Structure 1
Amino acid sequence: MEVVSSLPNNEKVILVGHSLGGIGISLAMEAFPEKISAAVYLAAIAPGLSFTTAEFFTEFFRRNTGERLLDTQVLFDHGPEKPPTSLLFGEKLISSRMYQLCQPEDIKLATLLLRPTKLFIEELASESLFAKERFGSVQRVYIICKEDEMFHDLQEWMIEKASIEQVMTIEASDHMPMLCKPHVLFGCLLQVAEKYV
C-alpha cells in the first residue's frame, strides 16, 4: 500500500497477487484505482463486488475437508464456533498439493519457511469493502494454474463469481508457477503488460 500510494500521479502499475496475495491487491485496487492499470490474480483469491473473501474461505473449507488438507493445521484463535483465523500448511500438503511439480530444493526451502498464514475472514466478510467506481474500475486478469491441487476447481468457480473476463492458463503448473513454469508465467505477464501499459 505504501509503494502504490507513493507513486507520482502520472504513473500507473500492474499489480500481481499470488494465492492469498489476491486479497492485498484487491484492497490496493479499492484504495488507489487511479494508480493501477491492471491487476493479475495468479492462482489467487479473487474477490468481487458481491463476492467476499469470507465466501471464498467457506467454499474452500467445504471442498477441502480434513483429509484433503493432510497435515495442515487450521487454527481457531477465537474459539471453534468462530471462523478459522489462520492456517499452518504442513510439509505433506506442500509437497503433494502445492509444490508437486517443483524441484526438490524448492520444496525443501518452502517447508523450512512455514509459518501460520492469517486469513482475516471476519475482517474481510463485508460486501461493502469494494465499490464499482473504485475496485470495479480496474482491469482484472486471472491466471489459472491447471495442476494447482490447492485451489483445483476453485479457480474457475472464483472467476465466475468475481466476474473476471480475461483469463489466461498455464498448463502443467502447480500452485507455484514462478518456480515450476517461470518462463511461461513471464510470457503471460508480458502479454498483460503489453495490453495495459
Structure 2
Amino acid sequence: MEAAASNKGCRHIVLVHGACLGGWSWFKVAAPLRAAGYRVDTPDLAASGVDPRPLREVPTFRDYTQPLLDLLASLPPGDRVVLVGHSLGGVNIALAAETFPDKVAAAVFLCAFMPDCEARPSHVIEKFIEGNWLDWMDTEMKAQDEEGKLPTSMMFGPRILREKFFQLCSPEDLTLATSLLRVSSMFVEDLAAQQPLSKGGYASVRKVYVVCTEDYAIVEAFQLWMVENNPVDEVREIAADHLVMLSRPSELLRCITDIADAYA
C-alpha cells in the first residue's frame, strides 16, 4: 500500500479552465484529487480568476496561455503531467503540448475545443461559430480597440449561463460562478494568424477526449466531429452539462483518476 501511495503521489495533474472562468472552477475536483495523493495545479490563465491583468493587457493567445507555459517550464527534467483542458482550455493545452511535448503524459480534452495539425489553431472555433452550433443568446462580444489589434472580448450573460452552460448545476453553483466570471476572449483573430500545430510537438502527445453528452454549449455532435477530425487514443463519456466539474464532480473525478493512472 505504501508503494502504491508513493507512486500515486508522483502523478501530476494540471486542470486548465475555459474562457471567462478561472482555476476556482475546479474546486470540487481538485480537492478530492489532492486528498487521494495526486499533485494538482489549477492555474489561472492571464486575465482570469485572480490574475490581476485586464484583458486589454493580454493581446495574444500565447500571452493568455503564459501562466500554463510557465508552470510546465518550471517542472524538473523528467517530470510529466496529465493536462486536462475544459472548453477553450483545450486550445491552451494543445499549445502547451506543442511547446513541451516531452513534459505531457497525456492531453485530456473535456468537452473542449481540440485543434488538429492540418489547419490553423482557430479552425475548430471558426467551424463552431460558422456552423451556428450555439445560440449565443445574451453573450456580449465587443471590439476592445478601434484599430482591431486586440482580440474581441466576450462575456456570457445570465440567460446563456443558465440554459446552455449550467443547466444541470445547482443554483448555488450558478450564483458562485456568476460572481466570479471575468471578461475573456476566444482569441480567434490571433489564432487564425498562427501556423498549424506540428507533428513532432502536439501530434506526438497522447490524447483522450471526454465527451459530455448533455452539453448544450459545445454540443455532443460537435465534440464527436472534432474527434473524427483529429482521432485520439481514447474517447470517454460523462452524462453531464458543460460545467461537468460542478454538476458531476464525482463522475469526472473517477474519469480523471482512471486516465492519470493509465497514462501518467
TM-score, length of structure 2 as denominator length? 0.68
In 1, the alpha carbon distance for the partners of 2:248 and 2:159 equals: 22
Work out whether residues 111 and 209 of structure 2, in 8 Å CA contact, stay in contact via their aligned partners in 1.
yes
Deviates more, 1:134-143 or 1:53-62: 53-62
* C-alpha distance in structure 2 between counterparts of 1:116 and 1:60, whole Å: 20
Report the equivalent of 2:127.
Answer: 59
Partner residue in 1 for 2:244: 177
Match of residue 201 from structure 2:
134
In the alignment, which residue of structure 2 is the partner of 1:33?
Answer: 101
Structure-2 separation of matches of 1:63 and 1:93 = 18
What TM-score, normalized by structure 1, do the two folds share? 0.90
Point out where structure 2 has 5 or more consecutive residues left out of the alignment.
1-68
3-state secondary structure, aligned to 1:53: coil
Q: Deviations over 1:148-176 (max 9, x none)?
A: 100012211111222224111001x0001
Q: Residue in 2 aligned with 1:46?
A: 114
1:88 equivalent to 2:155? Answer yes
Q: In the alignment, is the contact (CA less than 8 A) between 1:50 and 1:127 conserved in 2?
A: no
Matched residue of 2:174: which SS? helix
> Who is 1:75 aligned against?
142
- CA 1:53 to 1:129, structure 2 compared with 1: closer, same or farther past 3 Å? closer
How many pairs were matched up?
195
Indicate conservation of the 8 Å contact 2:133/2:222, yes or no: no
Secondary structure of the residue aligned to 1:133 is: coil
Judging changes above 3 Å, is the alpha-carbon distance between structure 1 residues 189 and 154 closer, same or farther for their aligned structure 2 residues? same
Question: Percent same amino acid at aligned positions?
Answer: 38
Measure how far apart 1:90 and its partner are.
0.7
Give the conservation status (yes or no) of the 8 Å contact 1:23–1:53.
Answer: yes
The secondary structure found in structure 1 opposite 2:78 is coil
Separation in structure 2 between the aligned mates of residue 168 and residue 65 of structure 1, nearest angstrom: 22
CA RMSD of aligned residues (A): 2.3
Distance of 1:134 and 1:147 partners within structure 2: 32
Select which of 17, 20, 24 maps to 2:92.
Answer: 24
Pair 65,37 (structure 1): closer, same or farther in 2 beyond 3 Å: closer
Q: Structure 1: state its 5+ residue gaps.
A: none
The question of whether the paired residues in 2 share the 8 Å contact of 1:51 and 1:162 is answered with no
